[in-house]
Structure 1
Amino acid sequence: MMSAVSYITRDGDCLDLICFRHYGRSAGMVERVLEANYGLADLGPIYPENIKIVLPDVPKPKVQREINIWE
């Protein structure tokens, strides 16, 4: 399991891309990161440089095995 990580933005970063790069997905992660970083949503969708964002520890999703009807 990963632990929380701090990310420092570069000019032009956006949260969905930061989440995708860190977690491998943005669905559901953007909301978790916004909950962990009070006031982050007030900055708008595109961030200036040097904003510290805490990327919380999130359990990896369980991989579901595909079932093939021909097995």
Structure 2
Amino acid sequence: MNKGVTYITRDGDCLDLICFKHYGRSSGMVEKVLEANHGLAELGPLYPEQVSIFLPEIAKPAASKVINIWD
């Protein structure tokens, strides 16, 4: 069973903003959401209201250790 949530669009929603609000970033997320929603790309960049979009659960990338040269 796929984990995730379903988002129902409002008129004028765009996938970049939906992904940014849900995942905290859009880079790389838009592609994964499009893969999970066959035919979504054909609707164009702005969606009408009541389009159901599945937002899959995507593991957050592991935080890389930051080295500060002043430490």
Percentage identity across aligned positions?
68
- Is 1:64–2:60 an aligned residue pair? no
Alignment partners' CA distance in 1, 2:23 and 2:15: 12
Alignment partners' CA distance in 2, 1:10 and 1:28: 23
Superposed CA RMSD in Å reads 0.8
Query: What letter is aligned with 1:62?
Result: A
Unaligned runs of 5+ in 2: none
Deviations 1:14-43 (A, max 9, x none): 000000000000000000000000000000
Task: Find the residue that maps to 1:53 and give its secondary structure.
Answer: strand
Given the two structures, how large is their TM-score scaled by the length of structure 1? 0.92
Alignment partners' CA distance in 1, 2:23 and 2:70: 34
The number of residue pairs the alignment matches comes to 69
Structure 2 counterpart of 1:11? 11
Alignment partners' CA distance in 1, 2:46 and 2:70: 48
Query: What letter is aligned with 1:31?
Result: E
Alignment partners' CA distance in 2, 1:61 and 1:53: 23
